[in-house]
Amino acid sequence: MHDRILVFESLRSSMSSDRRKPYPFDQIEPKWQAIWDERQLFHAPNPGEKGEGYTATDIVARYKRMRGFNVLHPMGWDAFGLPAEQYAIKSGQHPAVTTRENVAKFKRQLKRIGFSYDWQREINTTDPRYYKWTQWIFLQIYNSWFNPQTKQAEPISTYGGTDPDSVRLAYVADVPVNWCPELGTVLANEEVVDGKSEVGGFPVVRRPMRQWMLRITAYAERLLDELEKLDWPEGIKLLQRNWIGRSEGAEIDFKIDKGDHEICVFTTRPDTLYGGTFLVLAPEHSLVDLIVAEEQWPAIREYRERTARKSEFERADLSKGKTGVFTGAYAINPANNERIPIWIADYVLVGYGTGAIGGVPAHDERDLEFAKKFDLPIVVVVQPADDKPAIGFTGEGIAVNSPIIDGLTSVEAKKQITAWLEERGLGKRAINYKLRDWLFSRQRYWGEPFPIIWENGKHHSLGENELPIVPPPLDDYKPTGTGEPPLAKAKEWVRYSNKAVRETNTMPQWAGSCWYYLRFCDPHNDQRFVGKEAERYWMSGPKPGSVDLYVGGTEHAVLHLLYARFWHKVLFDLGYVSKPEPFQRLVNQGIILGEDNQKMSKSRGNIVNPDDVIDQHGADAFRCYEMFMGPLEQMKPWSMRGVEGVARFLARVWRLLMTENQAGAWELSGKVKNVEPDKAQQKMLHATIKKVTQDIESFSFNTAISQMMIFVNAFTNVDTIPVSAMRSFLGLLNPFSPHIASELWEKLNAKFSDAPGDITEQRWPIYDERLLVEDEIEIVIQINGKLRDRMKMPMLATEEELESAALSNPKIQDRIAGKTVRKVIVVPKKLINIVV
């Protein structure tokens, strides 16, 4: 699903190699892939573990199956959206065609790597049988509102107000949006990076348009709080927290000296109220029209026009300095009743807080810059604890020049003045979030149409019985460039009835991927988006999250992962799913760089094609190398030499059990015998079982492979190879390199009858801690923390024995001769440190 790991691209045709293969992976890999396919071996009919991802998840899936779990390990295609459509436009074909081809290509590649997906559960977000339910979920969102009392979504029928359209979780608004002329569509804030589109890197401009929005901001508090109990990397949680951006403070009302208008400002520092020497409104603030003094109108109008033309990117450019215009109006500071000027300036954003701020130049960098530029008064009201200059001090200190809170710490002063304001009805405690509502419509062809019609300028939902709403076939599906969606070109389709027309926007790329993990539980259900039973079956347990393991890159931290949480919570509130969160455990997979340590890209020509790697070294080597490279979550460069090393390891495994006969055919080695492993072999085997088991559990796949290499090295060049040890070892190897493990297992079965059946039917090996115990152990002797000698000691030696043995050691005696031993530290089974 998605490009959650590394997406390889086929560029070069496969290279043929006449070089003799070190072992016949080119024969055994297709053989076992066909067997797994035919027997539908990885079908998951019962509850248990579930996961999603690529090599790492395949290892976990195969491992968990061997531990007796039923594993849901599915794969699907998130094929709507900009990338798919851009690709289609470039190749001059219909996106339906390119999507089909790409899915086939990618699926073939996945099978070739030997992934054990349950293909019975394959889904495709562009399939009407799938997006019918995407549209259905949209209807649930549209027909709900967020009840602030219960803090959850409820059916719109429970809303008591007069205008339900104003509280729906899906609503239409005229908002300044990110319009990308090149792509011919609007984009969500999250899809705009440095003033350019994330897809394609085209310029984005601000432009007001009528758009569908989803009220994700209603969930800001829950999205933040409920992050707590998830097993996600702290870094990702932090990214989401920052994106949601909660800040605590107060809303304060300023009266305007003429007329009855009031301006409400949000501040996190109500304790600096006495230092407020001016107000600033965002240029777009609706009150501007009502308060501007006659003589200031021309300047204000000019400034507002100039601001409107600026892109978000230009506006955010700090290097250009502050701009602004005086409105000619004054407000009254409620703390000291001083008359302060009201300005407009584009450093105040209309979308955050109340779109207005109280300027406290002494204790806010931006206000200070503004005040200096326009010569506004600066009043110190916070005294820093140390000798720092008070002007420009933005930290916490002691309130001064503020009669009702003088002498209080900033923390106390905030409480005090907020209470004071509340008593007088001049303000109240308030919490603000940076998170904005989700811009949900796109002017594109390749997406889910909205199940919405328009009549007399009002929107209505279509009935569930009319789903799916299938887009009309369009030969020219390219964006119109005017902002009118391509679907508008299909006049027949648009005309719903004599009175009503269809909504022609489509949903964004993220819609389908917001809930696919639910569909995997019950992919063929045509009565419900997921069967009640199936959902409970797979997604219930003690923790708040649904999916047990989700492997993906950091790039989805604030997009996919936030959107999916939002949708899931709506479905949870409405009683459709049993848990409040979609993903319990999230593991980040780092990106793989090219051999030049650069991000893989066509232009750099450093793309690694798995088909080439598999042609040369086999799928098992490919899988194993990916895992051997380093820690899963780390960014790391690809190395062809490294692949060779891992391929050599697999060839050694092969030759451990197989020899070439006179005719050049591989046959089971005569060294493999039905004998008991000796003590050292036993210890090696059980140490390996222990390490590999623990390392898989902790996602340390690289060290698991190291241990298997150590095991194989230990068995190289021995005369007799106990078959039982090899059985266990193949079990450990199986999740990593299932083809060679299956084949060698089968070869053993041809001669030995100790363990019938395929390796996939085997239980994971169990280690015996007793076999790991050493009789003798090497003890390190240090003097002042420096290594001086080692000695063999019995495992059970007492501390006294260890100490006297160390002190009587000749080398140590030489060194401590003539010195006083101050202290001896004995760490049993480890070391002795003599302090002189």
Partner RNA sequence: GCCGAUGUGGCGGAAUGGUAGACGCAACGGACUUAAAAUCCGUUGGGCCGUAACAGGCCCGUGCCGGUUCGAGUCCGGCCAUCGGCACCA
From 176-184, 522-530, 701-709, 759-767, span contacting RNA (CB under 7 A): 701-709
Quick one: which of 45, 56, 65 has its CA closest to 113?
A: 56
> Which amino acid does the sequence have at 763?
R
Distance in Å, CB of 819 to RNA, minimum:
14
- Please name the residue that has the structure tokens 């819609």: 511
* Helix intervals (H) in 353-471: 365-374, 410-423
User: DSSP letters of 490-516?
Assistant: -HHHHB-SSS-EE---B--THHHHTSH
Residue 462 or residue 712: which is nearer to RNA going by CB? Answer: 712
Distance in Å, CB of 309 to RNA, minimum:
14
- 206 lies in the binding site for RNA (CB under 7 A): no
Residue 73 or residue 623: which is nearer to RNA going by CB? Answer: 623
- 691 lies in the binding site for RNA (CB under 7 A): no
Q: Which of 646, 650, 653, 658 binds RNA (CB under 7 A)?
A: 646
Distance in Å, CB of 138 to RNA, minimum:
26
Q: Which of residues 225-244 bind RNA (CB under 7 A)?
A: 234-235, 238-239, 242-243
Contact 109, 87 (CB under 8 A): no
Residue 311 or residue 525: which is nearer to RNA going by CB? Answer: 311
- Residue 163: what are its φ and ψ, rounded to 5°? -125, 80
Residue 416 or residue 700: which is nearer to RNA going by CB? Answer: 700
Find all residues with CB under 8 Å of 235, minimum gap 6, and list them: 554, 588
Q: Label residue 816 exposed, middle or buried (CB < 10 Å: 0-12, 13-18, 19+).
A: middle
- 293 lies in the binding site for RNA (CB under 7 A): no
From 381-389, 397-405, 626-634, 750-758, span contacting RNA (CB under 7 A): 626-634
Distance in Å, CB of 15 to RNA, minimum:
17
Quick one: which of 823, 768, 830 has its CA closest to 797?
A: 830
Helix, strand and coil content of the chain, in percent to the nearest 5, comes to 40, 20, 40
Residue 470 or residue 825: which is nearer to RNA going by CB? Answer: 825
Residue 271 or residue 743: which is nearer to RNA going by CB? Answer: 271
Q: Round to whole Å and give the CA distance between 12 and 300.
A: 60
Locate 738 and state its tokens: 């299932």
Give the contact letters, 552-571, x = binds to RNA (CB under 7 A), - = no: --x---x-------------
Quick one: which of 374, 407, 436, 468 has its CA closest to 133?
A: 468
Locate 360 and state its tokens: 């406290």
Q: Which of 327, 737, 782, 809 binds RNA (CB under 7 A)?
A: 782
> Which amino acid does the sequence have at 212?
W
SS3 40: coil
Residue 534 or residue 551: which is nearer to RNA going by CB? Answer: 551
Contact 723, 672 (CB under 8 A): yes
Residue 86 or residue 311: which is nearer to RNA going by CB? Answer: 311
Pairing outcome for strands 123-124 and 76-77: parallel
Inter-CA distances, 79 with 52, 97, 145, 189, 282, Å: 17, 11, 30, 21, 40
- 831 lies in the binding site for RNA (CB under 7 A): yes
Q: Which of 224, 607, 629, 721 binds RNA (CB under 7 A)?
A: 629
Counting every residue written for the chain, the total comes to 836
Q: Which of residues 100-139 bind RNA (CB under 7 A)?
A: none
Contact 207, 177 (CB under 8 A): yes
Q: Which of residues 496-555 bind RNA (CB under 7 A)?
A: 554
Distance in Å, CB of 427 to RNA, minimum:
12
Quick one: which of 803, 811, 810 has its CA closest to 828?
A: 803
- 409 lies in the binding site for RNA (CB under 7 A): no
Residue 194 or residue 526: which is nearer to RNA going by CB? Answer: 194
Distance in Å, CB of 201 to RNA, minimum:
13
Q: Which of residues 425-454 bind RNA (CB under 7 A)?
A: 432, 434
Distance in Å, CB of 287 to RNA, minimum:
14
Q: Which of residues 184-203 bind RNA (CB under 7 A)?
A: 193
Distance in Å, CB of 38 to RNA, minimum:
33
Inter-CA distances, 314 with 307, 350, 761, Å: 10, 16, 62
Q: Which helix (H) or strand (E) holds 535?
A: helix 532-539
Distance in Å, CB of 145 to RNA, minimum:
24
Residue 267 or residue 506: which is nearer to RNA going by CB? Answer: 267
Q: Where are the beta strands (DSSP E) in 425-548?
A: 427-433, 438-439, 452-455, 458-461, 501-502, 545-547
# binding residues, RNA (CB under 7 A):
83
Q: Which of residues 707-726 bind RNA (CB under 7 A)?
A: 709-710, 713, 716-717
Give the contact letters, 241-280, x = binds to RNA (CB under 7 A), - = no: -xx-x-x-x----------------xxxx-----------
Distance in Å, CB of 196 to RNA, minimum:
12
- Please name the residue that has the structure tokens 């027949």: 492
- 823 lies in the binding site for RNA (CB under 7 A): yes
Q: Where are the beta strands (DSSP E) in 282-335?
A: 325-332
- 284 lies in the binding site for RNA (CB under 7 A): no
Locate 642 and state its tokens: 């490294």
- 419 lies in the binding site for RNA (CB under 7 A): no
- 70 lies in the binding site for RNA (CB under 7 A): no
- 778 lies in the binding site for RNA (CB under 7 A): yes
Contact 234, 325 (CB under 8 A): no
CA atoms within 13 A on the CB side of 247: 15
Pairing outcome for strands 586-588 and 592-593: unpaired
From 336-344, 534-542, 578-586, 828-836, span contacting RNA (CB under 7 A): 828-836
Q: Which of residues 303-332 bind RNA (CB under 7 A)?
A: 315-318, 320, 322
Inter-CA distances, 804 with 752, 798, 807, 828, 833, Å: 53, 10, 5, 13, 12
Q: Which of 103, 264, 780, 791 binds RNA (CB under 7 A)?
A: 780
- Please name the residue that has the structure tokens 């389709």: 493
From 150-158, 375-383, 658-666, 700-708, span contacting RNA (CB under 7 A): 700-708
> Which amino acid does the sequence have at 331?
A
Q: Which of 700, 752, 758, 797 binds RNA (CB under 7 A)?
A: 700
- 650 lies in the binding site for RNA (CB under 7 A): no
- 601 lies in the binding site for RNA (CB under 7 A): no
Inter-CA distances, 764 with 284, 730, 735, 825, Å: 65, 10, 10, 41
Residue 53 or residue 275: which is nearer to RNA going by CB? Answer: 275
Q: Which of residues 360-389 bind RNA (CB under 7 A)?
A: 360, 364, 366, 369
Residue 249 or residue 334: which is nearer to RNA going by CB? Answer: 249
Residue 22 or residue 531: which is nearer to RNA going by CB? Answer: 22
> Which amino acid does the sequence have at 638?
W
- 805 lies in the binding site for RNA (CB under 7 A): no
Residue 197 or residue 782: which is nearer to RNA going by CB? Answer: 782
Residue 265 or residue 469: which is nearer to RNA going by CB? Answer: 265
Measured at the alpha carbon of residue 69, what is the angle toward residues 63 and 71, in degrees to the nearest 5? 80
Q: Which of residues 571-600 bind RNA (CB under 7 A)?
A: none
Residue 518 or residue 624: which is nearer to RNA going by CB? Answer: 624
